[in-house]
Amino acid sequence: MTPTPVLPDAGELVRLALAAAFQDATVVSAIPGDWANRVPLLCARITPGSGAVDIRGLGVATIAVTTIAADREEASLMSRQAGPRLRDACKAQFSGSDGYLSRYVAELVAPFWQRAGDAALTHSGVYRYECTHQVTTRPL
């Protein structure tokens, strides 16, 4: 009997794909304590609602993307580029150690300027944008 495949770590797979696409930015899966020293910064993280479409090998991941930059235009541009770059990574079947991005599903929340919220990210001289995307993954 063939064992059921284990789905890849979608969060790490997306982080690696975006790190390759945004080489001039710090790309992380959690906002670091010293985030202000790492601007421009892009944080891509899995959100609730992600899971398996078919546990035999197709996962769906909802990805929240936060971009932080020294000016509003740069933060906005990075946020607007996140979707197309994820789409390109899926089209290219970007792979990591345990799987690959197989399909870009949708932009669920369009990029918007986040002016309130997380007190840890309140800092004069930086701008924060948010957006949400959905992709599918498959094991190798």
Kindly indicate whether the domain formed by 10-139 is annotated with CATH number 1.20.1250.20.
no
Inform me whether the pLDDT recorded for 1 exceeds 60. Answer: yes
**H-assigned helices in the chain:** 10-21, 72-91
pLDDT of residue 32: 93
Domain boundaries, the chain: 10-139
On whether the CB atoms of residues 134 and 61 are closer than 8 A, the answer is yes
pLDDT tens digits along 74-126: 999 999 999 999 999 999 999 999 999 999 999 999 999 987 666 555 666 78
pLDDT tens digits along 54-73: 767 889 999 999 999 999 99
pLDDT of residue 5: 81
| DSSP string over 99-125 | EEEEEEEEEEEEEEE--SS-GGG--TT
Q: Distance of alpha carbon 6 from its chain centroid, rounded?
A: 21
Which residues in 21-88 belong to E strands, given as ranges? 26-28, 41-46, 51-54, 58-69
pLDDT of residue 66: 97
Per-residue pLDDT averaged across 38-56, rounded?
85
pLDDT of residue 119: 58
| Cβ partners under 8 Å of residue 51, min gap 6 | 59, 60
Q: Can you tell me whether residue 132 is helix, strand or coil? A: strand
pLDDT of residue 3: 80
pLDDT of residue 48: 86
pLDDT of residue 55: 67
Nearest to 14, CA basis, from 48, 38, 46:
46
| β-bridge mates for residue 22, sequence order | none
pLDDT of residue 120: 57
Distance between CA atoms of residues 51 and 64, nearest Å: 15
